[in-house]
């Protein structure tokens, strides 16, 4: 049987998972593909480090350069993480004309255009299914399955840590800090959790999805990013009373109808990560714990949903093996660029600044329990031409201060920020206003 040999760079959680999955299902893959996959070596930083997966000592090396440059190695699988040495590994392999499989979302987010240009120049290809949403095959969907569609909107729950925290806050009525500490103890959150809870991990993934969907590369600095630290159990509870569930969403939308006027004429696209009120009737509201889900709307296919485990050794290994199979088949049949890693296909689109985006809003204020407070708040919003759809002052909050919930009609983000800044200065307002967008999925 035809054999394709690959070098594995990284023997940690994902790398070990890939090796074990290949040992388990390598024969099955060979029978399906008509070719075998063979590991030439596994490059690691420390030969003595304890690993979750048992890796053969004979395959281990600390010299990734020799492994990548070995003429017998036809495909390079980069699973070491980071954006420095990993970038060097990927560029070295691509310049040798070798296809690369990677799960490195941070690397793609920071250096995608350079990597894709290098692949094109040297006749190689870059496969990155595992970089977004673990075992969910959404990259292949956007690159191949929906090739006949214009993607009009994409909403993703793409960070399992945040979804786990928000799920437990809702089900247990717990505060963010308590659930985060427990998630760290259980291994669902890192000891230093900012990459996840501040939205940066989700922004890396959302940028990759937006770039594929709209055919222009979205730079990390263009993505409006908010995390979930400001979400309290009160917000979770009030959202539930209103028929919503709070989720951290990656949002990619064509702005039609309400789109801003732009002199350059480029198609305006919203690309952002933020906590949002999701209607309980929408399927994303029921995605719980560490699971991921991505809702994609195409102009031909309509609404589609992709759901599954978004992280971990086995789900990520599944996507790596899928890419490795594609790379091996492309090599066998001499079709290295059958599906290019990235092609600009929609002209020069542009990411619209968040200040220009129009949304609906949930606002929670902590105000003094005294007459006339509503009137002062409403006056500020009226002057900003922002309409209130409903006001809730829940009972059972006796004391000097009480929470007030406002549901706001469509308003530009910039106008809302200015209005809330003015409201925060009112003497009756005793804490920083909390603003959460409402995602209508229209």
What residues act catalytically? 205
- Residues 6 or more apart from 397 whose CB is under 8 A from it? 403
CA distance 404 to 394: 7
CA distance 195 to 108: 16
CA distance 361 to 172: 25
Longest dimension (CA), the chain: 83
* The two three-digit tokens of residue 251, written as one number: 């949002």
41, β-bridge pairs = 7
Q: Among candidates 307, 31, 295, 6, which has minimal Cα distance to 127?
A: 6
42, β-bridge pairs = 8, 60
How far apart, in Å, do the first and last CA atoms of the chain sit?
Answer: 52
User: What does the DSSP assignment read for 129-172?
Assistant: GGGSSTT--HHHIIIIITTTS-EEEEEEE--HHHHHHHHHHHHH
* The two three-digit tokens of residue 196, written as one number: 């996840």
Residue 186 contacts residue 227 (beta carbons within 8 Å): no
Residue 293 contacts residue 284 (beta carbons within 8 Å): yes
CA distance 261 to 435: 26
CA distance 92 to 71: 13
- Residues 6 or more apart from 292 whose CB is under 8 A from it? 133, 134, 136, 156, 157, 158, 159, 160, 163, 307, 308, 309, 310, 311
Would you give the distance in Å from CA 433 to the centre of its chain? 27
Pairing of strands 268-279, 434-438: parallel
CA distance 153 to 298: 7
Helix, strand and coil content of the chain, in percent to the nearest 5, comes to: 40, 25, 35
Identify the helix (H) or strand (E) that includes residue 35.
Answer: strand 35-43
Residue listed under structure tokens 């222009």: 216
């Amino acid at each position: 049987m035809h054999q394709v040999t690959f070098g594995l760079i990284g023997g940690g959680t994902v790398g070990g998972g890939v090796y074990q999955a290949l040992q388990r299902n390598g024969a099955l893959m060979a029978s399906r593909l008509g070719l075998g996959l063979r590991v030439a070596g596994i490059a690691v930083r420390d030969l003595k480090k304890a690993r979750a997966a048992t890796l053969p000592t004979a395959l281990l090396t600390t010299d990734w350069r020799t492994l990548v440059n070995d003429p017998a190695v036809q495909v390079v699988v980069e699973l070491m993480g980071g954006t420095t040495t990993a970038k060097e590994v990927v560029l070295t392999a691509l310049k040798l004309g070798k296809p690369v499989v990677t799960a490195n979302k941070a690397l793609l987010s920071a250096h995608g255009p350079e990597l894709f240009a290098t692949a094109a120049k040297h006749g190689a290809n870059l496969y990155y299914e595992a970089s977004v949403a673990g075992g969910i095959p959404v990259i292949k969907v956007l690159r191949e399955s929906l090739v006949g569609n214009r993607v009009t909107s994409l909403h993703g729950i793409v960070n399992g840590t945040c979804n786990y925290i928000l799920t437990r806050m809702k089900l247990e009525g717990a505060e963010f800090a308590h659930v985060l500490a427990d998630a760290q103890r259980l291994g669902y959150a890192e000891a230093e959790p900012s990459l996840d809870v501040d939205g940066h991990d989700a922004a890396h993934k959302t940028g990759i999805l937006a770039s594929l969907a709209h055919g222009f590369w979205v730079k990390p600095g263009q993505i409006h990013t908010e995390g979930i630290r400001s979400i309290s159990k009160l917000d979770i509870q009030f959202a539930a009373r209103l028929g919503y569930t709070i989720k951290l969403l990656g949002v990619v939308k064509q702005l039609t109808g309400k789109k801003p006027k732009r002199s350059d004429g480029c198609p305006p696209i919203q690309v952002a990560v933020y906590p949002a009120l999701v209607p309980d009737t929408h399927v994303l509201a029921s995605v719980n714990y560490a699971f991921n889900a991505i809702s994609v709307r195409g102009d031909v296919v309509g609404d589609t949903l992709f759901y599954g485990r978004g992280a971990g050794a086995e789900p990520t290994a599944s996507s790596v093996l899928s890419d490795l199979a594609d790379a091996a088949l492309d090599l066998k049949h001499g079709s290295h660029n059958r599906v290019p890693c990235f092609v600009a296909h929609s002209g020069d689109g542009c990411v619209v600044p968040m200040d220009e985006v129009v949304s609906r809003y949930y606002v929670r204020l902590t105000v003094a329990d005294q007459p006339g407070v509503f009137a002062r708040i409403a006056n500020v919003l009226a002057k900003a031409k922002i309409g209130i759809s409903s006001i809730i002052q829940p009972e059972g909050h006796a004391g000097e201060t009480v929470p007030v919930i406002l549901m706001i009609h469509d308003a530009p983000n910039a106008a809302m920020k200015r209005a809330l800044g003015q409201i925060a200065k009112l003497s009756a307002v005793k804490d920083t206003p909390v603003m959460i967008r409402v995602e209508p999925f229209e």
